[in-house]
Every structure is written in structure tokens, then in C-alpha cells.
Chains A and B, each alone.
Chain A
Amino acid sequence: KQEVTQIPAALSVPEGENLVLNCSFTDSAIYNLQWFRQDPGKGLTSLLLIQSSQREQTSGRLNASLDKSSGRSTLYIAASQPGDSATYLCAVMGSGGSNYKLTFGKGTLLTVNP
């Protein structure tokens, strides 16, 4: 059974700092990996999607990397802003018979202080 772990569970940084959020998964047979953002009381917003054949994806100040063989992904946020404060979730989609299902980590709660 796939398990997804996100470290740290919470992170507080001053505005302007560059930061890295970590995601690890136990089964490397994945189809893709997706990073989401969730604001309090809201749904999930997709940030980046990395296919299993890709090593990284970039969108603005966000960069996500994937090392499938080691079961790791990182989300890099450059020049953090207070508006980046949210919970960040990592989710992996299994390949083969389970390839319709996303398995989520429990998230990292990010606070960016002005």
C-alpha cells in the first residue's frame, strides 16, 4: 500500500525567504505526482503536476522536482510572500491496477510572516 509522508508538518518563515517542502512515497511505481495548495476552509488548488518520466516542473516562483527511484519530491518556493501561507499537499497516482487513485500526504502548513 502506498504511503505518502510530508516533512515538516508545519513551517514558519519570514517573508522573502526561499524554502523547500518535502514529500516522500513508499512505492516508486507511480504514474505522476501532484502538488496542491489548500487555504483554510477551501478546496484544493493544483500547483504543479509531474509525470513519472519528468524530473521537474516550474510555475512562476514554484519549482517541483521528482526522484522516482528514491521516492522523493520537493517543492521549492522562491522569495516567499505572506500570500503563500496555506497548507501544501503532495499526492501520488499509482500505476498499474491502482492508477485511478491519488494517495495524499497529510500536508505541510506554511506560514509566511510579514
Chain B
Amino acid sequence: NAGVTQTPKFQVLKTGQSMTLQCAQDMNHEYMSWYRQDPGMGLRLIHYSVGAGITDQGEVPNGYNVSRSTTEDFPLRLLSAAPSQTSVYFCASRRTVAETQYFGPGTRLLVL
């Protein structure tokens, strides 16, 4: 298994540009989540999904959209990037609520 994969590893955007962060898992996990990690703030939940076609907001959802058309993929869309969205983004998945959560390697995003 490749586990949880994320692309790209690093991205530089200009303010106002849009982009999609990709996340995929090959473990047939129902639950997938997106987090951002900022110095002094820890990891914060952006959006999550409990299965294909079902998504919900986390703690910091503003400026981000998600969709879940397949079990494997959970892309995160930035509609109009802002410098405040400079962060490291992690995707995670788990099979059930009671089981271990697995994280991807992260995407470092810099918005100028």
C-alpha cells in the first residue's frame, strides 16, 4: 500500500490564484480529513468526509472547498488564495472512528 499520498509537495501561489491540493489513499478508508499546521497553532481541522459524497466543515473551513466523489480521493480547493493560507497542509484517513488515523507527508503552501 502507498498509504496516504499528497501532491504537490510544495507550491508557491500569488494572492488571488486558485489551486487544488490532491489527496489519495489506497486503504479503502471511509474517513478522510484535511488539516493545516501553523507555528504556535498546532493542527487544525479544515474539512472532513465520512464517505463518498459526504463532507462537512471543521474548525477553519473559510476559503476552502472539498468534494468526495470516490472513496480514494479527497481534494482540497483554494478558491482565491490569501497570504493567511500560507501553511503546511496534511491529509489523513482512517477506516473507522475507532481506528488509527494515518497522515500523508504534507503540502507546503506559500502565498505571496
Co-complex (A, B): yes
Interface band, chain B: 20 to 34
Central interface residue in B31, B42, B104, by most chain A CB within 10 Å:
B42
A21 located at the interface, meaning its Cβ lies under 8 Å from any Cβ of chain B in the complex: no
B105 located at the interface, meaning its Cβ lies under 8 Å from any Cβ of chain A in the complex: yes
Contact with A along B1-15 (1 / 0, CB 8 A): 000100000000000
Contact of A102 among B56, B101, B105 (CB under 8 A): B101
Q: How far is the CB of B95 from chain A (nearest CB, A)?
A: 12
Contact of A107 among B42, B44, B105 (CB under 8 A): B42
Question: In the complex, what residues of A have CB within 8 A of residue B98's CB?
Answer: 31-32, 51
By the criterion CB–CB under 8 Å, are B48 and A100 in contact?
yes
Within 76-112 of B, Cβ neighbours of A (below 8 Å) are at: 90, 92, 97-106
A88 located at the interface, meaning its Cβ lies under 8 Å from any Cβ of chain B in the complex: no
> Which residue of A is nearest B58, CB measured?
A101
What is the number of residues of chain A that contact chain B, defined by CB distance less than 8 Å?
22
Segment of A11-19, A41-49, A62-70, A73-81 in the binding face: A41-49
Given A34-B101, A102-B45, does the pair A42, B106 have CB atoms closer than 8 Å?
yes
By the criterion CB–CB under 8 Å, are A106 and B40 in contact?
yes
B43 located at the interface, meaning its Cβ lies under 8 Å from any Cβ of chain A in the complex: yes
> Which residue of B is nearest A104, CB measured?
B43
Given A44-B90, A106-B40, does the pair A100, B103 have CB atoms closer than 8 Å?
no
B50 located at the interface, meaning its Cβ lies under 8 Å from any Cβ of chain A in the complex: yes
Shortest beta-carbon contacts, A-B, top 8 = A44-B103, A43-B103, A106-B42, A104-B43, A43-B105, A46-B100, A104-B42, A49-B100
5 A-B contacts, Cβ less than 8 Å apart? Answer: A34-B101, A43-B104, A44-B90, A46-B101, A104-B42
Q: A43-B90, A46-B100, A104-B42 are in contact. List 12 more A-B contacts (CB 8 A).
A: A34-B100, A43-B104, A44-B90, A46-B102, A49-B100, A51-B98, A89-B43, A101-B48, A102-B33, A102-B45, A106-B40, A107-B42
Which chain B residues have a beta carbon within 8 Å of chain A's beta carbons?
4, 31, 33, 40-45, 48, 50, 56, 58-59, 90, 92, 97-106
